[in-house]
């Protein structure tokens, strides 16, 4: 066989995906040197075949993996990466695929960082060798394109920074409700009685808190509704703190929004952009301002009562509610009391000021809703509306913070 025909045969074999036979051929030819084919087989193929996820998953919870950039044979891999402009044949060290792999969070997980460095040195060694291989350079095959196949919106949705933002929006802003017993700066008594694991809030650190919740199985990514984070405070299972949420109340809805979405994201459920959940129209923040209603008829015992507050403006009552609160009625004493959450339309100027947890003194309209028919129990995603509106009351308050300084009002007689 002449050299020319041998060359052609190798190209054909590579192109048709006969990795083993082709590499045996090349090894015989290049004995002792590190041919690109040897490097591909020894260092790139194992990444392709690995059961474990690649380093990309440290920032992309699903949808993206280094495997998507590898084809079962070297020729297709090279051609696909080159066509995607991820390999720079003139300046191989500057190949974009290397920049991709090198990307790491500020504080990478040491195990993942080790995987990342291995991936990087494998790809660098292979690319440096491959760009010298004239058979690869002249290959004009049309392999399947390199990279993820999902729409870019789905890939963006599954990015860890986006997932964190949703966690902060939906859960972190609510944990103030649970802090008295679950935050390490406030729960010495609970720890003495129940042990360290009662401290599931990591102070001022939402990222570490989410990680803790996952590690301690407080979040169940397979069955998000069964997460202890939901079933404990709603008393669907026994809870040392008693009932802190009702199925369908605002906190519950927010917890569910995050948990359902998180589960779908890590499982890679979303395939198209219109399957992605929309963010809520409103943002909120828990405050230390308390509101109490008394004189509530006993028939409303244990029913969810929701108060929305509208602020007086020159043009009448504000268009959007500026605060809200919901909790079960305590029928035996005819009362209801709870802390307020301040609210604002997402992306409004007001939304940026919610974190101070204040409500300006002045005149407000309270709209009071009661879920007398337990509508939210059967459909936790429903909202209370006209059918549940039981009354409106004007109220004037300076809205001081603290349980001992709560604003008091009388339930309107119906
Ligand atoms: C340190 C976190 C981090 C790591 C690790 C990471 N990425 Fe990304 N990736 C991002 C961010 C952030 C973006 C959003 C666009 C940008 O900022 O470049 C992104 C965007 C992307 C996109 C484009 C989607 C879009 O928004 O247009 C792809 C594809 C991608 N990354 C693939 C990968 C692959 C493959 C790996 C592993 C080799 C990886 N990423 C590792 C953070 C990361
Ligand atoms: C008045 C105190 C108190 C409040 C407030 C409270 N809890 Fe608890 N919680 C406890 C106690 C005590 C335990 C430990 C006993 C148990 O597991 O029920 C506990 C346990 C838990 C656990 C299980 C922790 C583990 O590692 O097993 C979860 C999850 C939980 N609570 C969620 C919540 C949520 C969510 C809130 C706020 C909406 C909340 N709790 C508010 C007292 C409280």
For residues 224-251, give the mean pLDDT: 95
Give the domain-ending residue among 125, 148, 171: 148
**Residue 101 is assigned to a structural domain of this protein:** yes
Task: Tell whether the model's pLDDT for residue 33 goes beyond 60.
Answer: no
Using a 6 Å cutoff on CB, does residue 359 contact ligand 1? no
Using a 6 Å cutoff on CB, does residue 229 contact ligand 2? yes
Res 21: pLDDT: 41
Q: Are residues 171 and 95 in the same domain?
A: no
Task: Tell whether the model's pLDDT for residue 28 goes beyond 50.
Answer: no
Res 36: pLDDT: 94
**Residue 162 is assigned to a structural domain of this protein:** yes
Res 103: pLDDT: 97
Q: Can you state the percent helix, strand and coil of the chain, rounding each to 5?
A: 45, 15, 40
Res 54: pLDDT: 95
Question: Ligand 2 centroid to 231 CA: how many Å?
Answer: 10
**Residue 321 is assigned to a structural domain of this protein:** yes
DSSP, collapsed to helix, strand or coil, labels residue 330 as strand
DSSP, collapsed to helix, strand or coil, labels residue 311 as strand
Atom of ligand 1 nearest to the CA of 69: 35
Res 176: pLDDT: 86
Residue 150 vs residues 142, 307, 361: alpha-carbon distances, Å:
20, 43, 50
Residue 286, token pair as written in the block: 């828990």
Alpha-carbon Rg for the chain in angstroms: 30
CATH of the domain at 346: 2.60.40
Asked which of 2-16, 33-47, 263-277 is least confident by mean pLDDT, the reply is: 2-16
For residues 36-58, give the mean pLDDT: 95
Res 130: pLDDT: 96
Strand 335-345 with 362-370, pairing: unpaired
Res 6: pLDDT: 45
pLDDT tens, residue by residue, 273-306 = 999 998 889 999 999 999 999 999 999 999 999 9
Res 140: pLDDT: 82
Confidence of residue 325 (pLDDT cuts 50, 70, 90): very high
Kind and range of the H or E run holding 211: helix 206-215
pLDDT tens, residue by residue, 89-128 = 999 999 999 999 999 999 999 999 999 999 999 999 999 9
For residues 342-369, give the mean pLDDT: 94
Using a 6 Å cutoff on CB, does residue 245 contact ligand 2? yes
Ligand nearest to the CA of 339: 2
Confidence of residue 414 (pLDDT cuts 50, 70, 90): low
Strand 282-294 with 316-317, pairing: unpaired
- For residues 61 and 83, the answer to whether their CB atoms sit within 8 Å is no
Q: State phi, psi for 341 to the nearest 5 degrees.
A: -110, 130
Confidence of residue 142 (pLDDT cuts 50, 70, 90): confident
Task: Tell whether the model's pLDDT for residue 246 goes beyond 70.
Answer: yes
Q: Are residues 268 and 308 in the same domain?
A: no
CA distance 378 to 32: 71
- Cα diameter, the chain: 102
Q: Are residues 77 and 179 in the same domain?
A: no
State which residues form the domain around 54.
3-148
Q: Are residues 198 and 303 in the same domain?
A: no
Q: Are residues 39 and 74 in the same domain?
A: yes
Q: Are residues 374 and 398 in the same domain?
A: yes
Res 256: pLDDT: 96
Distance of CA 330 to the CA centre of its chain: 35
Task: Tell whether the model's pLDDT for residue 383 goes beyond 60.
Answer: yes
pLDDT tens, residue by residue, 392-410 = 999 999 999 999 999 999 9
Residue 277 vs residues 167, 268, 312: alpha-carbon distances, Å:
14, 14, 34
- CB neighbour list of residue 39: distance below 8 Å, 6 or more residues apart: 122, 125, 126, 129
Q: Are residues 271 and 308 in the same domain?
A: no
Atom of ligand 1 nearest to the CA of 161: 12
Q: Are residues 126 and 172 in the same domain?
A: no
Instruction: Provide the 8-state DSSP code for 306.
Output: E
Using a 6 Å cutoff on CB, does residue 177 contact ligand 2? yes
CA distance 95 to 120: 11
Task: Tell whether the model's pLDDT for residue 80 goes beyond 90.
Answer: yes
**Residue 282 is assigned to a structural domain of this protein:** no
Instruction: Provide the 8-state DSSP code for 279.
Output: P
For residues 257-269, give the mean pLDDT: 97
Give the domain-ending residue among 275, 299, 317: 275
Question: Ligand 1 centroid to 159 CA: how many Å?
Answer: 8
User: Angle at Cα 361 formed by Cα 312 and Cα 171, nearest 5°?
Assistant: 90
**Residue 21 is assigned to a structural domain of this protein:** yes
Structural domain total, the chain: 3
Atom of ligand 1 nearest to the CA of 108: 1
Using a 6 Å cutoff on CB, does residue 155 contact ligand 1? yes
């Amino acid at each position: 066989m002449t050299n020319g025909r041998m060359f052609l045969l190798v190209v054909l074999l590579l192109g048709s995906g006969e990795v083993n036979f082709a590499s045996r051929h090349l090894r015989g030819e290049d004995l002792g040197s590190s041919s690109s084919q040897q490097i591909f087989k020894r260092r790139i193929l194992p990444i392709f075949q690995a059961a474990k996820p690649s380093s990309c998953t440290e920032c992309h919870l699903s949808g993206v993996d280094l495997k998507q950039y590898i084809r079962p044979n070297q020729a297709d891999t090279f051609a696909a990466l080159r066509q995607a402009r991820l390999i720079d044949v003139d300046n191989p060290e500057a190949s974009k695929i290397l920049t991709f792999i090198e990307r790491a969070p500020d504080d990478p997980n040491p195990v993942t960082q080790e995987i990342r460095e291995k991936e990087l040195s494998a790809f660098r060694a292979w690319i440096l060798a491959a760009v010298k291989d004239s058979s690869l350079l002249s290959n004009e095959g049309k392999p399947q394109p390199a990279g993820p196949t999902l729409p870019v919106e789905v890939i963006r949705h599954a990015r860890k920074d986006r997932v964190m933002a949703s966690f902060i929006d939906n859960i972190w802003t609510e944990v103030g409700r649970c802090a008295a017993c679950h935050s390490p700066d406030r729960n010495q008594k609970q720890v003495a009685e129940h042990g360290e694991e009662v401290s599931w809030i990591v102070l001022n650190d939402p990222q570490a808190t989410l990680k803790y919740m996952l590690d301690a199985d407080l979040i169940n990514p397979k069955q998000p509704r069964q997460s202890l984070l939901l079933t404990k405070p709603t008393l669907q299972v026994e809870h040392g703190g008693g009932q802190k949420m009702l199925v369908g109340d605002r906190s519950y809805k927010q917890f569910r929004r995050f948990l359902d979405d998180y589960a779908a994201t890590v499982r890679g459920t979303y395939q198209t952009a219109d399957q992605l959940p929309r963010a809520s129209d409103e943002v909120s923040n828990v405050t230390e301002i308390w509101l109490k209603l008394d004189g509530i008829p006993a028939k409303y015992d244990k029913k969810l009562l929701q108060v929305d507050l509208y602020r007086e403006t020159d043009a009448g009552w504000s268009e959007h509610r500026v605060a809200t609160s919901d909790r079960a009625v305590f029928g035996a004493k005819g009362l209801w009391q709870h802390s307020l959450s301040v609210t604002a339309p997402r992306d409004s100027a007001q939304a940026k000021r919610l974190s101070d947890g204040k409500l300006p003194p002045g005149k407000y309209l309270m709209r009071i809703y009661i879920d007398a028919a337990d509508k939210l129990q059967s459909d936790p995603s429903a909202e209370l509306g006209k059918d549940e509106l039981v009354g409106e009351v004007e109220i004037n308050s300076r809205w001081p913070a603290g349980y001992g300084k709560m604003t008091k009002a009388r339930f309107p007689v119906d």
